[in-house]
Amino acid sequence: MNNRFKPKFNIKKGDKVVIIAGDDKDLKKSRKVLEVFPDESRVLVEGVNIVTKHSKPSAQNTKGGIVKMEAPVHISNVLLWDTKSGGPSKVKRTRENGKLIRIAKKSGEVIK
């Protein structure tokens, strides 16, 4: 992907998020972001989009077999969890002392 128009997202690794679309949709349960893939516009969220992979025996995994693991979901299906309001919230970004900070639109709280 071209770096000239690199996308910027409000979700980072370690954030608490809510799944707002798909099979794992749950607006009441917050989950942790394990990894962000900005080039593909996807995020890997803990316990979401579980897929089964068939693995051959190798030096690391001598048995092989069927492994259940998380697959990435599109970033548009995820909203940041706002701890103050206790629900999902959109995010606005503002500059404060030259640093970019994220603020929840619902409660106005700064997201760490």
Per residue in 26-64, pLDDT tens? 999 999 999 999 999 999 999 999 999 999 999 988 999
33 domain-assigned: yes
Distance CA 102, CA 112 (A): 8
Domains: count for the chain: 1
Distance CA 10, CA 79 (A): 9
21 domain-assigned: yes
Enclosing domain of residue 36 = 16-82
**pLDDT band at 8; cut points 50, 70, 90:** confident
98 domain-assigned: no
pTM summary value:
0.84
Portion of the chain with pLDDT greater than 90, in percent: 87
Amino acid 61: pLDDT: 85
CATH number at residue 61: 2.30.30.30
10 domain-assigned: no
What one-character-per-residue DSSP string does 42-108 give?
EEEETT-SEEEEEE---SS-SS-EEEEEE--EEGGGEEEEETTTTEEE-EEEEEETTEEEEEETTT-
Tokens at residue 112, please?
Answer: 């760490």
